[in-house]
Structure 1
Amino acid sequence: MAAPPSADQDYKTNLLSLLIANDALAFGTFTLKSGRQSPYFLTSSRLYTAPLLRQVSAAFANTISSPPFVNIAADGSITPNFDIVFGPAYKGIPECVGVVNELATRDALAGTKTWDNISYSFNRKEAKDHGEGGNIVGAPLKGKRVLIVDDVIIAGTALREAVGIIQKEGGTVAGVVLLFDRQERVSDTEQKSAIGAAERDLGGDIPIRAVLVFQDLIDKLGDKIGQEEVRRLEEYRNTYKAQ
């Protein structure tokens, strides 16, 4: 089966180029909350332009359309392993809406109904005590398989909170897809990356994947950012690489 009509074949390069052009991805010297001096920084709060939202949604959809989040039959047909795309407040909200819209667009262009039963949902930071009440907006989570989308994991606190919300509402976490994985160890005492530690802490049976990873910066942007920036990225990787 051919790739979905709206899927970019080299979506990583296209997305990275847009991130740089919109100052969402920058290179230099940045002090992280951990105190590390990072040669790059991704500011996901800048993902507000139409082209960036479109490309981010398409990149998420490409990742979500692959195992383990779907089953692919011998004829190429896809069956999702989730029912709802959940975006933790606040940065995950536009992402979950954008992803569901992108999946619907792909169905419309291909004349298929692969994603017809997929909905979106997100949480409020504070529960609403009037009207419909509650702290969930969008599809109810009870009895549903829920796929979480978010920008990045730093310490895993926000992810554990999202998992707790879904489980409290009666849903089952089917997986997690992040925009970016720094692929560096959490600390000197935690040698795993934030994603690796999260997978372990969640019991090892919830798949976590990333649209972009640190190594993509070197592999996809080497010619664009220059040899000196590549050298600094490689030095950072060698210093903080996760096990």
Structure 2
Amino acid sequence: MKNYQYEFIRYAIDKNALQFGKFILKSGRISPYFFDISKFNSGKDLIFLGKMYVKTLLESKISYDMLFGLSYKGIAIALSSSIILSYDYNQNVCICFNRKEYKNHGEKGLIVGKRPKGKIILMDDVVTSGSTIQKIISIMNPSEIHLSGMIIALDRQEQDLYKQSAIKNLQKNFNFKIKSIIKLTDLILFLEQNKNIVHTTDLCSIKQYKIKYGI
């Protein structure tokens, strides 16, 4: 792991964004760990989060002109990342994000911010379904944008319900790269090196979960 990945896991655990126990996922699976990015909810947290996303973005070598935050959690991510790019890297990168519901008055539409144009980076907390990404693409002008990639916080490295890698399928179907700040294997390594963080049974449960559902 790189230093910033180690730092991210430590900070996420301290903020209770990374939790351990038993959690029912949207898929119905019972997971021994859970990631809740909404725990990053102060100015200090958002500065930290923006720095982590920007480090991952720059290391990915993915070309970009704009950041697109997927509502709702991706909005704060895109905002904080654009501020860090401007303040720390002198890059004035525009952002936009989508509404969940169509606004039929005022500026109208589903997109808030600068009109998507050029190479677009999607930003969210965890991997998003293909249907969600397809919906996002459908509200942009395809002749004006190129979807370059997506940056997320955590790659659970997990099979979907069809026993396939959700991330690999998205990368193949949309022909773009998905990069994460950390992966499940990073979290396991961190917990192995810091055995006082969780009970031994929690670490064993995470490893067993990875064996059962991992890609």
In the superposition, the TM-score normalised over structure 1's length comes to 0.80
Task: Map Cα deviations across residues 71-128 of structure 1 (whole Å, 9 max, x no partner).
Answer: xxxxxxxxxx211000011111111010000111112xxxxx4x23x21111122233
SS at match of 1:151: coil
CA spacing shift, 1:180–1:56, aligned 2, 3 Å: same
Residue type at the aligned position of 2:126: V
- Tell me, yes or no, if structure 1 residue 216 matches structure 2 residue 186: yes
Cα drift, residue 167 of structure 1: 4.5
* Alignment partner, residue 214 of structure 2: 241
- Tell me, yes or no, if structure 1 residue 86 matches structure 2 residue 68: yes
- Tell me, yes or no, if structure 1 residue 16 matches structure 2 residue 23: no
8 Å Cα contact 1:58/1:99 also seen in 2: yes
Cα drift, residue 67 of structure 1: 3.5
Residue type at the aligned position of 2:173: D
- Identify which of 176, 182, 195 aligns with 2:156: 182
Partners of 2:143 and 2:182 lie apart in 1 by 30
In the superposition, the TM-score normalised over structure 2's length comes to 0.89
- Tell me, yes or no, if structure 1 residue 25 matches structure 2 residue 7: no
Unaligned runs of 5+ in 1: 1-8, 70-80, 108-112
Partners of 1:241 and 1:94 lie apart in 2 by 29
- Identify which of 18, 32, 54 aligns with 2:47: 54
Partners of 2:207 and 2:34 lie apart in 1 by 15
CA spacing shift, 1:166–1:210, aligned 2, 3 Å: farther
Partners of 2:54 and 2:82 lie apart in 1 by 8
* Alignment partner, residue 104 of structure 1: 86
Identical-residue share of aligned pairs (%):
29
Partners of 2:88 and 2:125 lie apart in 1 by 22
Cα drift, residue 39 of structure 1: 0.6
* Alignment partner, residue 95 of structure 1: 77
Cα drift, residue 208 of structure 1: 1.1
How many residue pairs align between the two structures? Answer: 211
Task: Map Cα deviations across residues 126-170 of structure 1 (whole Å, 9 max, x no partner).
Answer: 23322332222111114x111101111254332332233334583
* Alignment partner, residue 78 of structure 1: none
Partners of 2:49 and 2:37 lie apart in 1 by 10
Residue type at the aligned position of 1:176: M
* Alignment partner, residue 110 of structure 1: none
- Tell me, yes or no, if structure 1 residue 148 matches structure 2 residue 122: yes
Name whichever structure is richer in helix by fraction.
2
